[in-house]
Chain A
């Protein structure tokens, strides 16, 4: 089959690789009809996530048709149309039973490797380095889906791929980011990053009852999408004025947002002169893995007693973490890879009811063979790119 593989920093290429096979009785094989490039794929592309290997198939947002299933798969039939969540969950461990699917205790066969870096292993993830199991990803014609009873949602109507594809990651991730903010109605929520996840976090926060949502980004076209499509009530363009903390205070009568969502992660590109320069040099020399302006400013701007929700991806260590502000302001710091399986059903209902159509983030539609162009366009924010969907 054809697949998009990582072949070194800033290089991916579409190659012929063997077709996937059933390895365990509860596996299924899916013929992929739509897949996407995720912002977090860029961290792999840029070489900031350790344990990548040449030949790794990328991609953790995909959907398609079941073409084969192992004898242990109970709730799927060949021919079913499914969306596959990015974290691979077993469904049976204590974490899965408590809906903490992204920290499933059984699906990462490289847990020894992960424990060295993080203290504990987390769930396997499709196409997302060997630290999360070394599973082949979904930017391909076919993929093997392990524990297939747990790791899919069946699409039983004729909604087009584009409307349901993002149940795999970015819609549940955005929703999870907003869910961590304990929104009850009337809050002001600030979202750092107006990429696809940030856009859907904004839309989710509004659906949950937030009164105002402030989008923060450095690209005019992404802020325009936030305002016009995601529903942001205010925007901050840090390419115009980099002092985000002051602007957030001004917009909130000096209080600061009730909760702040970091939808940026380890490659933040704003930041104040000297600190940013130090971070950039240290990260380029692999002395610091995580560039932290977004998280620092999130903590500095959040109102005392508020919540900082981290859904942007970090991979290692950060310098100059504002522990003083975190502690003395009494903030709650919440984080995680989204527990996608917890939200898929609910969000599928919202899509069917027309409450949200996450396809508004799509700006580019390409064939699988054009994946390398897709990565370059997305990485360099060319051609007003927000989200690339690939059709194998």
Chain B
């Protein structure tokens, strides 16, 4: 199983590194983060490498993948959210994924119609 994730964000490197430090994403996660200038006008690449796989060996890995709690999936969620915040100022939310990109939500999608005001608690994964 891969332990790497990468995204490109349309933002100059120095500014992106500062925004990343302020964001608090991946705080407490055993991972190394590397920034690199993307070619042309594409901004900055952010590369994350998890230092170790899931606890519990292969079986642990498989279980976590099924429930969407696999560490790399969480890293990817965080990277996508960070990119959305940097590039658009908000996190993309739809009716079926109101909290924004979330690995656990992949298998537990809400229907794509608006939440009832009483519903947010029930909708949580």
Contact = CB atoms under 8 A, between A and B. Distances in A.
Is the A/B pair a real complex? yes
Interface of A: 3, 5, 17-21, 23-26, 51, 53-57, 72, 90-94, 97, 105-113, 124, 127, 130, 133-137, 144, 146-147
Contacts of B109: 51, 53, 110, 130, 134
Contact of B88 (A20, A92, A94): A92
Contact of B100 (A18, A51, A53, A109): A109
- In order of increasing CB-CB distance, the 10 nearest A-B pairs are A134-B96, A55-B111, A56-B112, A109-B97, A24-B90, A136-B95, A20-B114, A18-B116, A135-B94, A109-B92
A145 to B, nearest CB: 12
Given A108-B92, A135-B94, A92 B10 contact: yes
Interface of B, helix, strand, loop or mixed by DSSP: loop
Given A20-B95, A55-B112, A57-B95, 18 more contacts: A18-B113, A23-B98, A24-B90, A56-B96, A56-B111, A90-B84, A93-B10, A93-B87, A93-B88, A94-B8, A106-B83, A108-B92, A110-B101, A110-B109, A111-B101, A133-B96, A134-B95, A136-B113
A121 to B, nearest CB: 9
A84 to B, nearest CB: 15
A216 B98 CA distance: 43
**Range class of the B interface residue count:** 35 or more
Given A90-B87, A108-B92, A134 B110 contact: yes
Given A107-B92, A112-B101, A130-B96, A136 B114 contact: yes
Contacts of A127: 112
A107 B100 CA distance: 10
Given A97-B10, A124-B92, A110 B87 contact: no
Nearest to A53: B111
Contacts, number: 129
B97 A26 contact: no
B90 A112 contact: no
A20 B115 CA distance: 7
Nearest to A137: B112
A24 to B, nearest CB: 4
A112 B109 CA distance: 13
Contact of B73 (A20, A107, A112): A112
A201 B60 CA distance: 52
29 contacts: A18-B116, A18-B117, A18-B119, A21-B115, A21-B117, A24-B90, A51-B109, A53-B109, A72-B90, A90-B88, A92-B88, A93-B88, A94-B10, A106-B83, A106-B92, A108-B92, A109-B91, A109-B101, A110-B94, A110-B106, A111-B80, A112-B77, A124-B94, A133-B92, A133-B94, A137-B112, A144-B95, A146-B92, A147-B88
